[in-house]
Amino acid sequence: MLNFAITGGTSGIGACIFTNTECQNFSRSTGYDIRTKSSRNDIINNIKDSVNVFVNNAFSNLNYFAQTEMLYDIAEHWRNEKDKIIVNISSINAELRNPRDFMRSKYSIAKRSQDNAIEHLRQLCDCRIINIKPGMVDTEYNKHKDAPKLQPSDIFDNILYAIKNNIQDITITK
């Protein structure tokens, strides 16, 4: 039985996971802000014992590296828990080598920091760490963009596929 906890379960990819699973949601509107250490600690302390999948999904536009901090904190907490699974939502933008502006560059580097962290954390931790790298997803932020888009359910399906088939890394684009 998979029991999920997620950061950012109120919209976009996170909402799809939240509504389709047994899931606890941690986001600002439920009283948790991944930018602060105390809030990240609260998230960890409030994860139910039954939770075995933590989806590190929320990305903060006010602190691009907060999601990386959340990743470290949950990995350290579950480092001896071989039956627990962390699912990190990175981005294909981590591969960007020719950014068009400073914000894109910073987003790319923030996502790359998650990918790099996972290389280290997989050596340090017994828990499983799955890394999902989507291309553009059909969310509110992208609604005016005229480009092929994944659906949030595509991300959810790939998470379940990775968990069931013992896969560590998935890059998915439309």
Query: For binding to ligand NAP (CB under 6 A), which residues are involved?
Result: 7-14, 27-29, 32-35, 57-60, 66-67, 89, 91, 134, 136-137, 139-142
**130 vs 137, which CB is nearer to ligand NAP?**
137
Least gap, CB of 70 to ligand NAP (angstroms) = 8
* Closest to 158 in 3D by CA, of 135, 142, 140: 135
Least gap, CB of 58 to ligand NAP (angstroms) = 4
**103 vs 126, which CB is nearer to ligand NAP?**
103
* Rg of the Cα atoms in the chain: 15
Least gap, CB of 84 to ligand NAP (angstroms) = 20
DSSP-based three-state secondary structure for 11: coil
d(CA 3, CA 87) in angstroms, rounded, equals: 13
Least gap, CB of 169 to ligand NAP (angstroms) = 14
**37 vs 82, which CB is nearer to ligand NAP?**
37
d(CA 2, CA 50) in angstroms, rounded, equals: 9
**78 vs 107, which CB is nearer to ligand NAP?**
107
d(CA 138, CA 116) in angstroms, rounded, equals: 26
**Type of residue numbered 28:** R
